[in-house]
């Protein structure tokens, strides 16, 4: 399948640049659509899990990169050698009373304080220096087998979300719909190109 999506090409580029030696590691920002999209995206994520150790996924709130983009994003942290066995997820919460981050209310370093504390325990465990961390309201662990079973969907589905917590905002839902429409359009363009090539061959 021909890949035309910039974010997927960039992920592939980084994966190729990380040589299979100890110490090769990467942390990168990706649109949330990269986590759940199928097709070529699933193929690349399969390679990511098999060839690398994807150890951490952080789900960021809407508006984190405002005013440049309101698309919901996530952070991926991976290293070589692989394969991936378990992935630690963290869902960064919005400060109380805030609907989204913005230019006037930007994300700050202190917003990651709880994440860093929890991640330290996860990092110790994955290095064989501590116990397996327990799930919290904002963090949980998923096995690579679970990701394979759901078609390499890496979406941060928080199983411990507090009851009564708000559902995704309209902006998040619209972003998700737009990503899916984008995937459908890409498939339609590829089919159109294939049909065009077949017609030229028949002539």
Spatial separation of the C-alpha atoms in residues 135 and 36, rounded to whole Å: 22
pLDDT at 2: 43
Residue 161 lies in a domain: yes
> 33-46, pLDDT tens digit by residue?
888 888 889 999 99
Output the DSSP codes for 105-125: S---GGGGHHHHHHHHHHHHH
Residue 178 lies in a domain: yes
| Cβ neighbours, 10 Å, residue 32 | 21
How many domains would you assign to the chain? 1
Q: What is the mean pLDDT of the chain?
A: 82
Please report the sign of the dihedral spanned by the C-alpha atoms of residue 189, residue 192, residue 198, residue 200. negative
Are the CB atoms for 115 and 90 separated by under 8 Å? yes
pLDDT above 90 covers a percentage of the chain that reads: 33
- Domain range spanning residue 128? 6-202
pLDDT at 201: 54
Are the CB atoms for 45 and 62 separated by under 8 Å? no
Spatial separation of the C-alpha atoms in residues 133 and 78, rounded to whole Å: 19
pLDDT at 3: 44
Specify which of 31-40, 128-137, 138-147, 176-185 reaches the highest per-range mean pLDDT: 138-147
Residue 1 lies in a domain: no
Helices (H) and strands (E) in the chain, counts: 6, 5
Instruction: Tell me the CATH number at 124.
Output: 3.40.50.150
Average pLDDT on 183-198 reads 71
> 26-83, pLDDT tens digit by residue?
999 998 888 888 888 999 999 999 999 999 999 998 878 877 777 788 999 999 888 9
């Amino acid at each position: 399948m021909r890949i035309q999506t910039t974010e997927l090409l960039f992920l592939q580029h980084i994966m190729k640049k990380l040589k299979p030696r100890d110490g090769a590691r990467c942390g990168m920002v990706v649109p949330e659509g990269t986590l759940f999209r199928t097709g070529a995206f699933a193929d690349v994520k399969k390679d990511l899990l098999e060839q690398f150790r994807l150890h951490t996924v952080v789900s960021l709130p809407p508006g984190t990169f405002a005013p440049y983009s309101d698309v919901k994003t996530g952070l991926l942290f991976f290293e070589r050698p692989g394969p991936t066995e378990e992935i630690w997820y963290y869902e960064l919460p919005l400060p109380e009373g805030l609907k989204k981050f913005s230019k006037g209310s930007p994300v700050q370093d202190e917003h990651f304080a709880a994440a860093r504390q929890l991640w330290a325990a996860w990092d110790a465990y994955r290095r064989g220096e501590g116990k397996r961390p327990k799930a919290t309201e904002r963090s949980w662990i998923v096995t690579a087998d679970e990701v394979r079973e759901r078609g390499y969907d890496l979406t941060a589905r928080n199983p411990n979300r507090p009851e009564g917590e708000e559902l995704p905002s309209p902006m998040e839902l619209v972003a998700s719909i737009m990503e899916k429409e984008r995937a459908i359009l890409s498939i339609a363009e590829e089919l159109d190109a294939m049909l065009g090539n077949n017609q030229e061959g028949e002539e």
